[in-house]
Structure 1
Amino acid sequence: MKTEQGIALVDRDEDGVDRAFREDVLKGLRQRQKAIPARWLYDDAGSQLFEDITDLEEYYPTRAETEILEARGAEFAEHIGKGRVVVEFGSGSSVKTPLLLRAIDPAAYVPLDISGDFLRASAATLAEKFPAIDVHPVEADFMREVALPEEVLPLKKLGFFPGSTIGNMVPRTAVDLLRSMRATLGAEEGELPLLLIGMDLVKDPKVLEAAYDDARGVTGEFNLNLARRINRELGGTIPVDALRHKAPWNDDFARIEMHLEATRDIGFEVAGQRFTMTQGETIHTENSHKFTRRSANTLLLAGGWTPRMRWTDSEDRFSVILAEATEKRDAP
């Protein structure tokens, strides 16, 4: 077993503030429709809250994807083969990642995540479970191309992106991410990298809205944690008690939208800049796009990946797709 402390690639200023976080927040709050990229929901507290969400009765995606990973392990091994390096875009789940590692017997495991403490804790847990697999955690923003540890560069790669996180992005951003994944994974000795990716499916809006606005309010706390993080890390004065969580289905764009809605007129500062919100105005914090077979394939192809295999759970709620990198001369 080899567990490293992780390679920190996050750009911080002299006060330890993540420059990209500050830039995205300030830019998003200046827009007519205020919006902050969903990746900033996942600090350590947000990551733990999301783990709690995955255990909720209403939140079906984790159970559905886990069912696929448990049932199709032999097929994954057949189509992926042994000896690849698993590069997971996002810190590994205590449930889903071990299922894949057991199925395909990888040469090494490289989790990438922007939340360093959560990343290292998850990597240490997996290293204990799999002492024969070298674990190389890398703290980085995987939305951009990431330099992988030298130890794994000569080896064949499998990207792993479970949870339908790709659905959190508008199509343009999702395509950019898929292309950056292709660049991160590279190719060795003519071996094109593979990508195993989860994509949630279009279904009854009532089921979807319940999954993102649970009765216990855990998803609401997850959303509100973003405001608390802004206050803590960016010197914000957002009155969190004047915000509430909303998660409506937008049929035109086939997505659930998460918003923080002002329950009264408010004013606040972030990083020394002044902002206001009127009652009913929202900060758009997350999209969760849902896919058909056609829209999933179209997105992957646009991002430089050719779908090869597709699996769904027993209730056709969720899909896991194995794609191969498109050769560069054929890429869109």
Structure 2
Amino acid sequence: MQRSKKDYVVLAGKGVLMGAADAVPGVSGGTVAFITGIYEELIHSIRQCGPDALKILFTQGFKALWAHINGTFLLILLSGIVFSLLTLARVVLYLLDQHPVLLWSFFFGLILASTWSIMRHTGRLSLNVLAVFILGTLVALQITSMTPTVTDPSYLMIFMSGMVAICAMILPGISGSFILLLLGMYAPVLMALKGLQLDFIVVFVLGCITGLLSFSRILSWAFAHYRVLTLSLLGGFMLGSLNMVWPWKYTLSYSINGQGNEVPLQQKNILPDTFYALTGQDPLTLAAIGLMFVGMVLVLILDRR
């Protein structure tokens, strides 16, 4: 695909948004990739980075390899993601800590409208499509209802966490950050990025690369042979993930992480009035609904691409 310089600037911006989304437990960078129109190109490009790529490198040279893997696309997008994780992600995490209701509200509207967007591409609703959609919803509900753990990671745990989390990160509706939270690896990964712990980062990235190269082949095959059902499953993942991003939560239990900080371990979704009664905090209902609307409108604008 031929792109202008402006197109690549926009692509980098999409990478920044993906990185910011992946920093929040409950939100998937894959969701952003889908609503911005680059999801299938991303999956196909990653799939190309396999054994065939090495063969092309040694037989035809680097230029042919770069074209084969859609290298410029991947480089620009990855640059945006990394830039976001190192910079913008801190802003998102600050908002998550200081203004959680408002941030969750925005993402709730974003994901709700994204569910409609992805299902719109399945065409006419059939029994098979509906069944797969319900299956995806139930799977996501089950995952987002699990209780996170807290652990001190070994190198093997860091590697395996990277493998599993990156698969979730490229799935719309399944949050890689939340998978890390379930594994007790969310805080350690953020601390490693913040403190530039190179050994930790290298092992985690190797796990991500391994998981990405293997899982992208499965996704690419699924889109090629079962496109409508695959979209239905991803739509179900999105709908089920709304359980995780509901704005008003009440913490039932806390845990102490490896840094000695108290962190929420188990939370329950509640209504705004109940939130006020239990916490004494302003539920910011009107502002929250407004931000839900903003999130939905943003998706509808992007969906007109």
Question: TM-score, normalising length from structure 2?
Answer: 0.25
Structure with more contact order per residue of length (Cα contacts < 8 Å, sep ≥ 6): 2
Higher share in helix: 2
Question: TM-score, normalising length from structure 1?
Answer: 0.23
Higher share in strand: 1
